[in-house]
Amino acid sequence: MRLGYGQFDPALRRRDQKEMRAVLLLILISSLFPSAGIAANPLHPGRSAAAIIEKVNQNILKIKDASMDITLDYTLFIFGCSGLNRMKGKGYYKSPDKIKATLNHVTYFAKGNKIRKIDAEGKRFYLRLLHSLDFTPGFHAGLIPYNFFLTVIKDDPDEISIEGIPKPGILKNVEKVVFYIDPKEYLLRKLDLTLVNKNLSGTININYQKIQGLWVPVSFYGRTAIEIRDNALVGIGIKLKGENFKINNGLSDKLFDPGF
C-alpha cells in the first residue's frame, strides 16, 4: 500500500508516513473488506463465492456503529528490524463507510476512499491511497467481491477457503489472497497473501468476541508488506487490539465530519 498526498501535505515527515500507512492498514484489515464477475463454486453447484461472502457480510452489517479504545503495534523489517512502534487512541465506525481514529493525538477520518488527517497542531491534510483496495462500497465484506475475482477452492463443514485475484488497478504488489471463513458462524478468520516479491509473505489472523449478541472483530495480528520509497516492498508485523467496545449506540454523523 502506498500513499499519495494532497495540496496540504507537500513535505510529510518520514515518521508520519509510516504512521499513516499503519493506520490505513488498520482500515484495510480491521474493517474487513453488489457484486459481479464472480466464479461459481464447482464443489457446490449454484453456491457461488458471492453468496458465501454475502453471508459473512450479513454478520458485519448488524454492527451499525461502534466505538472502542485501540492499541496498534507494528514493526517494520528494514535491514533487520526497526523495533516496536506503538500507537494508542480511540476508534469509531459507522456503517457502511465511515471511520474515525485518533492515534497518538493525530486524527484520521475516512469515508470510502476520501481520507482526511488533522495533526496534533491542528494542521489539515488530504490523503490519497495508491494501488490499494477501492473502498467505494464502504468498510465491510462487500469489498471482497468488489475488488477481487473469486473462486471457491474449499467448501466443507470445517472450513471454507476462497481465492481472490485482484482486479485491474487493485493491490499491484499482491498476486492473490486466500480468505478463510468459519462455515459455522460465517466469520472471516484468516487471510493469506501471495506477494509479487517472493521473499515476503503475508498472513493476517482475525479474532472475534460476542458483544451484545453480535460477533465483533476485536483484534487482528500477523505479517504483511507495505511499499515505501523507490517502490520497495518491506515486511511489516502488525497487531491491533480493541477494548471497551460500545456497539450500536447511535453515533452521530457529525462525529465523522473533519470539516474540510
3-state secondary structure the chain: CEEEECCCCCCCCHHHHHHHHHHHHHHHHHCCCCCCCCCCCCCCCCCCHHHHHHHHHHHHHCCCEEEEEEEEEEEEECCCCCCCEEEEEEEEEECCCEEEEEECCEEEEEECCEEEEECCCCCEEEEEEECCCCCCCCCCCCHHHHHEEEEEEEECCCCEEEEEEECCCCCCCEEEEEEEEECCCCEEEEEEEEECCCCCEEEEEEEEEEECCEEEEEEEEEEEEEECHHHCEEEEEEEEEEEEEEECCCCCHHHHCCCC
d(CA 226, CA 129): 12
The larger pLDDT score, comparing residue 25 to residue 8, is at 25
Res 59 pLDDT > 80: yes
Query: What is the pLDDT at residue 175?
Result: 95
Lowest mean pLDDT among 54-58, 78-82, 186-190, 221-225: 78-82
The three-point CA angle 58-62-64 to 5° equals 130
Domain parsing of the chain, residue ranges? 2-249
Answer for the pair 149, 176: CB distance below 8 angstroms, yes or no.
no
Can you tell me the mean pLDDT for 20-27?
46
Burial class for 156, CB neighbours closer than 10 Å (0-12, 13-18, 19+) = exposed
What is the CATH T-level fold of the domain 2-249, as seen in this structure? outer membrane lipoprotein receptor (LolB), chain A (2.50.20)
The phi and psi torsions of 256 (rounded to 5 degrees) equal -100, 10
Could you report the per-residue pLDDT of 150-205, keeping only the tens digit for each?
999 999 999 999 999 999 989 888 999 999 999 999 999 999 999 988 888 899 99
Answer for the pair 137, 144: CB distance below 8 angstroms, yes or no.
no
CA distances (Å), origin 17, targets 114, 168, 260: 17, 26, 21
Can you tell me the mean pLDDT for 131-147?
88
Query: What is the pLDDT at residue 81?
Result: 63
CA distances (Å), origin 121, targets 105, 213, 255: 9, 40, 19
Whole-prediction pTM = 0.81
Query: What is the pLDDT at residue 44?
Result: 52
Q: Report residue 9 as a C-alpha cell.
A: 501535505
- pLDDT bracket for residue 22 (50, 70, 90): very low
Could you report the per-residue pLDDT of 65-90, keeping only the tens digit for each?
999 999 999 988 776 666 788 999 99
Lowest mean pLDDT among 43-47, 142-146, 158-162: 43-47
Q: Which residues pair with 243 in a beta bridge?
A: 69
| Percentage of the chain modeled with pLDDT above 90 | 58
Res 119 pLDDT > 60: yes
Query: What is the pLDDT at residue 33?
Result: 35
In sequence order, the 6+-apart residues with CB closer than 8 A to the CB of 110 are 27, 98, 99, 100, 116, 135, 139
Res 29 pLDDT > 70: no
Res 228 pLDDT > 80: no
